[in-house]
Structure 1
Amino acid sequence: MIGADGQRDEDEGAPGPGGRRRGLLKAAGVALAGVLVLSAAGAGWVYWHLNHNIKSVDINGALGDDRPPKAVATPSASASPLPSGSLNILVLGSDSRSGKANAALGGGDSTGARSDTAMVVHIDEGRTEATVVSIPRDTLVTRPSCPTPSGGTSSVAYGTMFNSAYSLGGPVCAVKTVESLTGVRMDHYLEIDFSGFAKLVNAVGGVTVTTDEDIDDDQSHLHLKAGTHLLDGTHALALARTRHGIGDGSDLGRIGLQQKLVKALLEQISSTSLLTSPAKLYQVADAVTGSLTTDTGLDSLGELTKLGQSLGSLSADHVRTVMMPVVAAPSDANRVVAREPAAGELWASLK
């Protein structure tokens, strides 16, 4: 059980080491595939409900052709109908959704949206290896001109915070800014909100993480002693957001915790017997789909399931997590800028 301090009670068994650890997207796909089985067995309303949960944004239509080129796929000799080419997916964690659930967890309203977490997930051709690159939200960038939700167009902004792109123009501007920064085309976009992330963690029974130092952060309401903890959704979200209670209080320390949390969640989902428990399967699938905003290429249960199935050979052991190389900004010691040529070399390796 989870104690009041967020720690596992001593008589609670630790998760066993058995089984291969699967990637987060694959695990979500397995859950969604199970839902498809349920719907085929007569629960068509379940399929409709979960499919209806997913929100989408037409990023390709908004950005047009003024983008980096798509990766050229090598023809596959396999007869499998599943795609196997490389992919780049921009994954954002945001507080963009209004409502009581997000407000209780510290989320902003619909006019104060922020992207608290940004990761570029690169999946290699063949889909057996992946690299997750975190972009610090405090990075100063040149934000390109973006279409705005009101129908206008924003001006180019120099030396502005990376996460201002989402605040200004939502997913479309976030994608365009990442593509401008990296020179890499984003094939897809996935966004998860505060309450959805917390629900997902609760649905799989919490996540087990080990912290190397005490964390005392009144702003994220997180107080943990160094050691191993089983965290529920609220505490896991607080861990993902904490920054003032660790290291120098910058966004860089938080990124390490976020990457550790992603792997812990991936492992927990993979070790949960979703297909043998229809109730838990539905709970997880409802949390996943209900918290997602995607591009129009992934806005259906079928497309998400197909993506998950295509990652069947991707294990967590072959997922590398890194941060974009940065240095302190000359204009502001509390901000960072991309460190060249290292950052450029990293992005070039993902094309």
Structure 2
Amino acid sequence: MLRRAVTVPLVVLLTGVVWLTLPLWLIGAAALSPFVPGHWRALRLTWLLVVALTAESLLLVVLLGTWLASGCGRRLRTAYWEGVHYDLVQGTMWLLFREARRVLHLSIVTEGPEPDAHPGVPLLVCCRHAGPGDSFTLVHALMDWYDREPRVVLKDSLGWDPVVGTVLRRIPARFISPGSGEDLEDQIAALATDLDGNDAFVIFPEGGNFTVERRARAIERLTGLGLHAMARRAEGMLHVLAPRPGGVIAALDAAPEADVMMVAHTGLDHLNGVRDLWRELPMDKQLVMRWWQVPRAEIPEGREERIEWLYDWWQHIDDWVEQHRPEDLSPGRWRR
């Protein structure tokens, strides 16, 4: 609460200052653009930052209004107000992705089962974690294409963003702190309990965004734990981290009626930092998301069998990424 009491006014104040000085920002970005590679790169990035900052500030003002209208927060966790907050998130993300597609020339292609393929069945969504903003893209697709209400597990550090920290404390979600000593599997199980037919529990089994360095550390960790068979399987996967099965198994146990949705994506996963993003603007890229729905009857029951099943799927995702990676990326650059 104290953290948001500091960050919320700062964001709103910063937005006001940016809009008051916006002509200067736009003139400066336009003047800089001829000296920067890429067509109007500086101007495009400036505009996107202004849009994102404005959307965040407006949403914070609306969130204050919902808090007051819900009896100063007393009814916020009711089904009605949770639905209101999901609608607010969906509308804001629609705006941001619309601007990203328009300004960055970014397209998003979704492949997989139709949204009504299994109506009324709750989903456990296991997604590859790589590239900038893939968690936001996944949530956007779940809400916009599949018409689902996501329940998200994410690191506590993301709660520093005032909108994320506010909204995700008003809808079913969990901030977790790896290394804090808390039982993370219990927290995951609690969030995955009592899913209804339009819910989607979201988890990233790799536990972090893919980089070559993290891949090597994950293999070393498995070897150090004496899990040599799992380490060998991880060595055979070039584009994903070795999945950590504990959270997935906890979610499966907590939601025995749910199907599983496996998600792979490629197109932006070679962008590992601000320098990569700057180099690629305007992107003119296509992000492809591939979904596979796994019926509950096809999921094994035993723990060891489920670990093997999860590794099999992650190998399948790795193979799919290998086959669908962007053509303009050479293998050397991709694996850098």
TM-score, normalised on structure 1? 0.26
**More helix by percentage:** 2
**More strand by percentage:** 1
Bigger RCO (CA 8 Å, 6+ sep): 1
Q: Which has the larger radius of gyration?
A: 2
TM-score, normalised on structure 2? 0.27
